[in-house]
Amino acid sequence: MLKRLSLIVIILALLAAGFFIVSQNNSVRETAANETAVFASPTPDMPAYWDTVHAAETAYQASEFEQAMTLAQAAAAISPADSAAGDIFQAAAVAQAGDTYLRNLPDRRYRKNTEEFLADVANGTQYFVIDVREPDEFAADHIENAVNIPLRDLVQQLDQLPDSKSQPILVYCHTQKRATHALVVLRELGYTNVFNLEGGWAEFAAWTAVNPMPTPGPTVTPEPEPPSC
């Protein structure tokens, strides 16, 4: 009888201990859950987010780039973790910059031919000349006093450019293709007096091989440009 009572007491003690452990574990879990709820960020209002994203897309498609950027920023504030709003903002910012650039593009598209450039120099214009060809091309021959900044390194070496963004800059490559990209980038970065050398180094070398250097005096007026295709 005593042994039975002892066994019963032991079983009851074990059950009580188990109940206490389970209770304690539940209490710990509830406390952790409560703490997580306190520190967790509020759930974004995703319907409002997507409504704003779609409104930004509509504005972008309508070429209302400023409005598209404003709406994209508002959407990003609702749900910073989602990338859709950021993608629209970036696209609208690029489109707005491109639109501004194209609307202000002059007839000659910021180009100067060799004779114009050399006449400007003869008349005292202080050009900062950038050769965007590769170093081996530059080493073979280049315009006097030009600075070699290969096209792909241009934005990484802005410290080599003039402090004044209004100083005249002439950009050239071999045939003008690479220099055209450099011109657009520099103009968008705020350099207001940048020009391409029309025809590039190839035309410069050909022209200077058969023509005397210009002397101070009136700058030649270039031929009218044919209509663009």
- CATH match for 111-210 among 3.30.1330.10, 3.40.50.2300, 3.40.250.10, 3.30.2010.10: 3.40.250.10
Measured CA to CA, the distance from residue 177 to residue 63 in angstroms comes to: 28
Here the tokens at position 40 are 């967790």
pTM of the model: 0.62
Measured CA to CA, the distance from residue 155 to residue 22 in angstroms comes to: 64
Looking at residue 28, its pLDDT comes to 42
pLDDT tens figures, 57-87: 999 999 999 999 999 999 999 999 999 999 9
The boundaries of every CATH 3.40.250.10 domain in the chain are: 111-210
pLDDT tens figures, 188-222: 899 999 999 999 999 999 999 999 999 887 766 66
Across the range 49-60, mean pLDDT stands at 96
- Helix, strand, or coil here: 79? coil
136-141: long-range contacts (C-beta < 8 A, 24 or more apart)? 137/174, 137/201, 141/201, 141/205
pLDDT tens figures, 123-176: 999 999 999 999 999 999 999 999 999 999 999 999 999 999 999 999 999 999
Judge residue 53's burial from the number of C-beta atoms within 10 Å of its C-beta, 0-12 exposed, 13-18 middle, 19 or more buried: buried
